[in-house]
Amino acid sequence: MSDRSSPRVVAVANQKGGVGKTTTTINLAAALARLGNRVLIIDLDPQGNASTGLGVDPDRRSLSTYDLLIEGRPLAEILVDTEVERVTIAPATTDLSSADIELVANERRSYLLKDALSAKDGAGNGLDYILIDCPPSLNLLTVNAMVAADSILIPLQSEFFALEGLSQLMLTIREIRQAANPSLRIEGVLLTMHDNRNRLAQQVERDARDTLGELVFETIVPRNVRVSEAPSFAIPVIDYDPMSKGSLAYKALADEIVARYQNTTAAVVEA
């Protein structure tokens, strides 16, 4: 469990759809919670799949991240408990689809999530991690996530052209650092839906590690049917099938992230 006074904020982002952002958000949250951490998920995807995947039915989303960003409602008012111990969520609805248009005239349009997370309303008390599930685009919602975050976790599907789409994302991260969040860093690149029997997947891994080096997590999430089945039961895969390959991968990812942070903290203290 973290001993820091404020939670560590990690945005899970990639403008390409279908790479495992929501799956990673849900299962990483559950795995971190198993390690004793208190975790909040911010669902910023208008599809609301993170909310659905954790069993938050539409009738429990009377207030959502739309109300948080557009209406200025306090974070504490929209939080919903999940069936996963120590995991809460700020759910999303399709109302978020119009957020870009409604935010254009707001002078602080890129800082609304940061402001909401910084508010002294008690919502962040005792939290160790906040994971932000971003939409599959580099719109104002994703920009809000990057401005509010300490770091970006990038899921990368093990397929042809996987690395091609990273250039625009990296450019956006660089722009956010220059304009709004100079301390923003890349948490890591996570290879997902990986089939090690496939030569193409092996090549993608080699290319990613050659190009990005230590930014690529040692942990790789395999293509695993249990990971795909779990959302239909509205639970993380580590609860659905704790010993499946997908479950073990997300547990390993949580361990790796915690270890990376502890090493970084130790280096800062020693300096």
**Residue 60 contacts by C-beta under 8 Å, 6 or more apart in sequence?**
80, 91
Q: What pLDDT was estimated at residue 264?
A: 64
Quote the CA–CA distance of 218 and 260 in Å, as a whole number: 11
In 24-111, which ranges are E strands?
A: 39-43, 80-81, 87-90
Helix, coil or strand: residue 48 = coil
HSE, CB side, 13 Å, CA atoms: give it for residue 224.
23
| pTM recorded for the entire structure | 0.93
* Residue-level pLDDT at 265: 57
> What number does CATH give the domain 8-270?
3.40.50.300
The pLDDT profile of the chain, 271 residues, written as one tens digit per residue, is 544 568 999 999 999 888 999 999 999 999 999 999 999 999 999 999 999 999 999 899 999 999 999 999 999 999 999 999 999 999 999 999 999 999 988 999 999 999 999 987 666 778 999 999 999 999 999 999 999 999 999 999 988 777 777 888 999 999 999 999 999 999 999 999 999 888 888 998 999 999 999 999 999 999 999 999 999 999 999 999 999 999 999 999 999 999 987 776 554 444 3
Helix pair angle (21-34, 245-270), 10° resolution: 70
- With b for 16 or more beta-carbon neighbours within 10 A and e for fewer, the 108-125 pattern comes to ebbbbbbebbeeeeebbe
Per-residue model confidence (pLDDT) at position 161:
77
pLDDT of residue 167: 85
What element of type H or E holds 140?
helix 140-148
Beginning with the edge strand found earlier in the chain, give each strand of the sheet holding 151-157 in spatial order: 80-81, 87-90, 39-43, 129-133, 8-12, 151-157, 185-194, 216-222
